[in-house]
């Protein structure tokens, strides 16, 4: 029996599904060819595998295979989308709109562009984590070239109103980008229905391998132009040079294929586990749900706890549960979560926050074990503070 803690940090990353791993293995060994070497069978095999994954990803979001550009992950995809638009449309405007609760992979490229002379409007969010659509409309200008709003928040799981945002952007002829790293395979995504022009995807949030992602780039109505951010061979329609990592691409495709196939049943099962966990935790006074109660990912439960020290709470949970206090990309930062402070949380409460990311391989027994330990830890910490 393993003495490792129960893994409930599936928004940080997910284990590779065995079915995904089995699909990848041949492309490390006998099918190891370079997809760009199309003069022999080794290259043909890899080229065919890459093509198949393009088709899988395109089908998953109702796009065309040729609109899928492979990257090393969602961070690179976000950088390519934001910087690529900024450079390509520089003559049309230097104003970009984004949101305070975006991932750092969006906020940091925007800050880089600000230092380069662009104007960046960072919209606040409401207490439930959703943006104010009227405020978005008011923020748009004649020189706005891009709006970037994530599909599903990585910390609090809130789902932004993509359809409404897309409609606003399309009417204003402004490019709409969404970071869908946490969303693909978990919620329905349709780039046509949602009027999305650029969409960032990644494999490791959906039981695929790390180090692989993609950017959807609209080719028609309107055709989106991007300035390449990585040069050296003209791969991926000239947008992203570099030898394609075929095993990772195959794994990415298989992971998304499985996720789409099982999306409905998995969301129901995971949603029931989340409800079970929340029912037990919410029975304790002073525990609050972060973000909109309904418009959120099925497996996300972000809570804040009154009357405890955040560091002590995290330490107390470690032997039993692997959970997060916020974004994995910012977890080494001693400052409180910028997402929670954007929601208006006081610093002390923002510190005492836990993000449960429930996933494919979690069980009822694990949920009950974690709930029991969590409640015991909270009561013990509160008791210690009272005695002091």
CATH number at residue 335: 3.90.1150.10
Confidence of residue 324 (pLDDT cuts 50, 70, 90): confident
pLDDT at 234 over 90: no
- Catalytic residue check, 329: yes
Examine the domain organization and report whether 209 and 292 are in the same domain. no
The pLDDT value recorded for residue 334 is 60
Which residue is catalytic, options 122, 284, 329, 375?
A: 329
Could you read off the pLDDT of 64-119 as tens digits, one per residue?
A: 999 999 999 999 999 999 999 999 999 999 999 999 999 999 999 999 999 999 99
Residues in the chain: 388
Average pLDDT over residues 7-14: 97
Examine the domain organization and report whether 226 and 306 are in the same domain. no
Examine the domain organization and report whether 73 and 149 are in the same domain. yes
pLDDT at 333 over 60: no
Average pLDDT over residues 157-177: 98
Examine the domain organization and report whether 106 and 142 are in the same domain. yes
Domain boundary among 212, 242, 257: 257
C-alpha of 246 from chain center:
22
Could you read off the pLDDT of 215-230 as tens digits, one per residue?
A: 999 999 999 999 999 8
Query: Total structural domains in the chain?
Result: 2
pLDDT at 14 over 90: yes
Contact call for residues 187 and 166 (beta carbons, < 8 A): no
Q: What percent of the chain is modeled with pLDDT above 90? A: 85
The pLDDT value recorded for residue 327 is 47
pLDDT at 59 over 50: yes
Q: What are the residues whose beta carbons fall under 8 Å from the beta carbon of 48, sequence distance 6 or more?
A: none
CATH number at residue 60: 3.40.640.10
pLDDT at 152 over 90: yes
How big, in percent rounded to 5, are the helix, strand and coil portions of the chain?
40, 15, 45
Higher pLDDT, 35 or 158: 158
What is the average pLDDT score of the chain?
Answer: 94
Confidence of residue 314 (pLDDT cuts 50, 70, 90): confident
Neighbours of 145 (CB within 10 A): 20
């Amino acid at each position: 029996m393993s003495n490792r803690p129960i893994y409930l940090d599936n928004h940080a990353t997910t284990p590779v599904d065995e079915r995904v791993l089995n699909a990848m293995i041949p492309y490390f060994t006998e099918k190891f060819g370079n997809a760009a070497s199309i003069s022999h069978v080794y290259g043909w095999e890899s080229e065919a595998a890459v093509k198949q994954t393009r088709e899988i990803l395109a089908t998953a979001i109702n796009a065309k295979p040729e609109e899928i550009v492979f990257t090393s992950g969602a961070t690179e995809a976000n950088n390519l989308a934001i910087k690529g638009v900024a450079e390509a449309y520089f003559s049309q405007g230097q104003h970009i709109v984004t949101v305070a609760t975006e991932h750092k992979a969006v906020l940091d490229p925007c800050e880089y562009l600000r230092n380069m002379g662009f104007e960046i409007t960072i919209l606040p969010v409401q207490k439930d984590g959703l943006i104010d659509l009227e405020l978005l409309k008011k923020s748009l200008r004649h020189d706005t070239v891009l709006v970037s709003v994530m599909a599903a928040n990585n910390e609090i799981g809130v789902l932004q109103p993509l359809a409404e945002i897309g409609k606003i952007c399309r009417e204003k002829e402004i490019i709409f980008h969404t970071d869908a790293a946490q969303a693909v395979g978990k919620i329905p995504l349709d780039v046509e229905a949602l009027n999305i022009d650029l969409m960032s995807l990644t494999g490791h949030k959906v039981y695929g391998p790390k180090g692989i992602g993609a950017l959807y780039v609209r080719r028609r109505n309107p055709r989106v132009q991007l300035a390449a951010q990585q040069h050296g061979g003209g791969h991926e329609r000239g947008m992203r040079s570099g030898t394609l990592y075929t095993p990772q691409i195959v794994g990415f495709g298989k992971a998304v294929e499985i996720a789409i196939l099982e999306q409905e049943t998995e969301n129901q099962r995971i949603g029931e586990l989340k409800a079970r966990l929340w029912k037990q935790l919410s029975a304790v006074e002073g525990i609050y749900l972060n973000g909109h109660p309904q418009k959120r990912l099925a497996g996300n439960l972000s809570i804040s706890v009154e009357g405890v020290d955040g560091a002590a709470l995290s330490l107390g949970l470690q032997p039993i549960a692997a959970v997060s206090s916020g974004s994995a990309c910012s977890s080494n930062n001693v400052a409180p979560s910028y997402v929670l402070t954007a929601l208006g949380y006081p610093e002390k409460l923002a510190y005492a926050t836990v993000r449960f990311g429930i996933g494919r391989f979690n069980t009822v027994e694990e949920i009950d074990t974690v709930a029991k330990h969590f409640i015991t830890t909270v009561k013990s910490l509160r008791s210690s503070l009272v005695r002091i």
